[in-house]
Structure 1
Amino acid sequence: MLREILKPSGPARVVAGAVAEIAPDVLVLQDVDYDASLAGLRALADLIQDEGGPLYPHLFARLPNSGMPSGFDLDGDGLLGGPRDAQGYGRFEGDGGMAILSLYPMDEDGIRDFSDLLWDDLPDAIAPEPPFPSPQAAAARRLSSVGHWVVPVTLPSGPLHLMTWSATPPIFDGPEDLNGRRNHDEAALWLRLLDGDLGDVPDAPFVILGNANLDPVDGDGVRGALTRLLADPRLQDPKPRGDPKPDRSGQVHRGDPALDTAAYDGAGNLRVSYVLPSADIVVRDSGVFWPKLDALGKDDLGPRHAIVWADLTLR
């Protein structure tokens, strides 16, 4: 990833240019490879500045569950050490993690990290029954395919708690529906946290934001937890609007306008990324922004997801 960021053109520069154009005060990124010194993340922050964006002095990332060896045959193929045997799908430790870039400092002593929570320990979990692929493997499986963080950002008005995650796609499994059920429970963790089932409830104001990898209407998946999140009176859904993903000619492929509000996947225009502020926050505006693809080489793949943004005022 660091090598790609340092190239004079390519997908990393496309992403950096999009971030520079939106210029968020606080940015949560998904699918960012982790290294212990944050060299890749710092290079990306420098690239964003080079593209005319903000200088982000505060960076945060932790080793994700994706690519973390489990020691078990978690996918039941009879082999050990494959990418699906990691705690979350990944070809190496640190593959496809999360990161936060911020103009404001983060209270690292106040961070709560639920990434090591075992799936079996989530109240009201819907893990496969019988345990897949074995009771021993199921008991060792963490809930988070990448991570679940509660990160306080210190604003001039006080702390804002960021509650962020990146869920597994609810596909690529078998009749046990492992990924569909796990995707559901990765969203359900926030409901359990707000209900007080996982310790202290985070103080408002807070924002739940990240990649749920699930559309509330279309595509595969178990929608119960996401539906409850979107309807929860403790939260608000800005329902951001925006064009669907453009192709390299700049043309957009329009589908149902109700779905033109978030990330694109191979299945079409799906809403899978969310910014859900707590009910006490004033949402001034929100939207979806697709990076421009004209800087890509002919063999480069553009981002699969858009920037989902919201302008917020804390009361």
Structure 2
Amino acid sequence: MLLASFAQAEPLRIATFNTELSRKGPGILLRDILRDDDPSIASVVQTITAANPDIIALQGIDYDLELSALNALADALTAAGAPYPHHFAAPPNAGRQSGVDLDGDGKRGGPRDAQGYGRFFGQGAMAILSRYPIMTAQLQDFSTLLWRDLPGSLYPIIDGTPFAGTEAHATQRLSSNSHWSLPIQTPNGPITLLTYHATPPVFDGPEDRNGRRNRDETAFWVHHLAGEIGTPPQDAFILLGDANLDPTRGDGRGKAIAALLAHPALQDPLPEHPTASWSQTGPMRVDYVLPSRDWQVLDAGLIWPQGDAASRHALVWVDLTR
């Protein structure tokens, strides 16, 4: 019985990392990984290998339909001693052209007219690497949810008219990348990852389109956990990703992430630890790993990438057991 108890208590290390590996065109990231001489890719491989997580959510990695770039990165990690046999990515909103003038500049087809900012489909998207099987048949992908359909949506309405017009209002999705609920089969039973990468709350005009959307991308999870959108996790889960939102600093609507950090179903293993640093803003907390309350947190920390071409985000990891 004691041996069984110890087996059940085998810890899991869960991590999130905005790699900032996105390139300026399709196929370039795959080319750079295969060349095996790019300092930014070497930094990402070194950082993930040093953290050695069992499951990691990645942001800032370009999507392609064959997952060629993701698979190549996984091969590089295997060669460095960190094998991840299970990979997942799904078609994102990043760079997905809408056919509508979403940003209200009078033109169509620009990177800000995509459902999520992108010069090409899949630019700077999301992915999962795992040492355990990913239960893709049970995926809940909320990427098609319209922004206006979020309860309490802050879609900008100006003098009674939706920003950029009614066609944009009827077309704009909430997720700038994706919102996924993704179960993974671990040795101790299934767990669920709730993960996303929100738009930066800047680079817009007085309508605060990005700031409002950023807030709503985080507020989405409160509605999901309440059972108002999709089916909430029935077992242990972890909410993680890049919220692009600090609870107290920056131009974003910090109350949204503060509400999530205080949510009764969640715990915060690294309160008040900055996870990214930009020259314009200094250190800010924007990346999160938030386990559900039924986990026991054993340890948590950050690993900052090294090198001139390194990501400005730290890898955030948490060790968990049940």
- Equivalent residue for 1:32, pick from 56, 61, 80: 61
**Contact 2:140-2:230 within 8 A present in 1 as well:** no
How far apart, in 1, do the equivalents of 2:306 and 2:165 lie? 46
How far apart, in 2, do the equivalents of 1:208 and 1:199 lie? 15
Residue aligning to 2:219? 188
The worse-fitting range, judged by mean Cα deviation, of 121-130 and 142-151 is: 121-130
Offset at residue 292 of structure 1 (A): 1.7
Ranges of 4+ aligned residues in structure 1 off by more than 4 Å: none
Residue aligning to 2:183? 152
Unpaired stretches in structure 2, ≥5 consecutive residues = 1-28
Residue aligning to 1:309? 317
* CA-to-aligned-CA distance 1:287-310 (integer Å, 9 cap, x gap): 1101121xx5xxxx3212110000
How far apart, in 2, do the equivalents of 1:92 and 1:199 lie? 29
Residue aligning to 2:7? none
State the secondary structure of the residue aligned to 1:161: strand
Offset at residue 208 of structure 1 (A): 0.4
CA RMSD of aligned residues (A): 1.2
- Equivalent residue for 2:41, pick from 12, 27, 31: 12
Residue aligning to 1:248? none
How far apart, in 2, do the equivalents of 1:50 and 1:163 lie? 29
Normalising by structure 2, we get a TM-score of 0.87
Offset at residue 183 of structure 1 (A): 0.3
Residue aligning to 1:118? 146
- Equivalent residue for 1:290, pick from 282, 304, 313: 304
**Contact 1:146-1:166 within 8 A present in 2 as well:** yes
How far apart, in 2, do the equivalents of 1:11 and 1:132 lie? 38
Matched, 1:97 2:113: no
Offset at residue 37 of structure 1 (A): 1.0
Offset at residue 199 of structure 1 (A): 3.1
Amino acid across the alignment from 1:96: G
How far apart, in 1, do the equivalents of 2:216 and 2:99 lie? 23
| Equivalent runs, 1:131-280 vs 2, <5 Å | 131-239=162-270, 258=272, 260-266=273-279, 267-280=281-294
Offset at residue 157 of structure 1 (A): 1.5
**Contact 1:239-1:261 within 8 A present in 2 as well:** no
Amino acid across the alignment from 1:167: A
How far apart, in 1, do the equivalents of 2:227 and 2:52 lie? 35
Residue aligning to 1:75? 103
* CA-to-aligned-CA distance 1:192-246 (integer Å, 9 cap, x gap): 0011111322112000000000111111111222111000111000016xxxxxx
Offset at residue 25 of structure 1 (A): 0.3
How far apart, in 1, do the equivalents of 2:268 and 2:89 lie? 26
State the secondary structure of the residue aligned to 2:42: helix
Amino acid across the alignment from 1:203: Q
Alignment coverage as a number of residue pairs:
289
The worse-fitting range, judged by mean Cα deviation, of 62-71 and 261-270 is: 261-270
How far apart, in 2, do the equivalents of 1:290 and 1:63 lie? 29
State the secondary structure of the residue aligned to 2:128: strand
The worse-fitting range, judged by mean Cα deviation, of 8-17 and 92-101 is: 8-17
Amino acid across the alignment from 1:56: Y
Q: Which of the pair has the greater relative contact order for Cα pairs under 8 Å at 6+ separation?
A: 2
Amino acid across the alignment from 1:107: M
How far apart, in 1, do the equivalents of 2:305 and 2:76 lie? 15
Offset at residue 79 of structure 1 (A): 1.1
**Contact 1:261-1:287 within 8 A present in 2 as well:** no
* CA-to-aligned-CA distance 1:113-141 (integer Å, 9 cap, x gap): 00010001111111111311111112100
Offset at residue 282 of structure 1 (A): 0.5
Amino acid across the alignment from 1:115: S
Percent sequence identity over matched residues?
52
The worse-fitting range, judged by mean Cα deviation, of 192-201 and 267-276 is: 192-201
How far apart, in 2, do the equivalents of 1:66 and 1:180 lie? 17
Amino acid across the alignment from 1:2: L
How far apart, in 1, do the equivalents of 2:173 and 2:32 lie? 31
How far apart, in 2, do the equivalents of 1:159 and 1:202 lie? 10
Matched, 1:2 2:30: yes
State the secondary structure of the residue aligned to 2:157: coil
Residue aligning to 2:15? none
Amino acid across the alignment from 1:193: H
How far apart, in 1, do the equivalents of 2:112 and 2:35 lie? 30
How far apart, in 2, do the equivalents of 1:231 and 1:261 lie? 18
Normalising by structure 1, we get a TM-score of 0.89
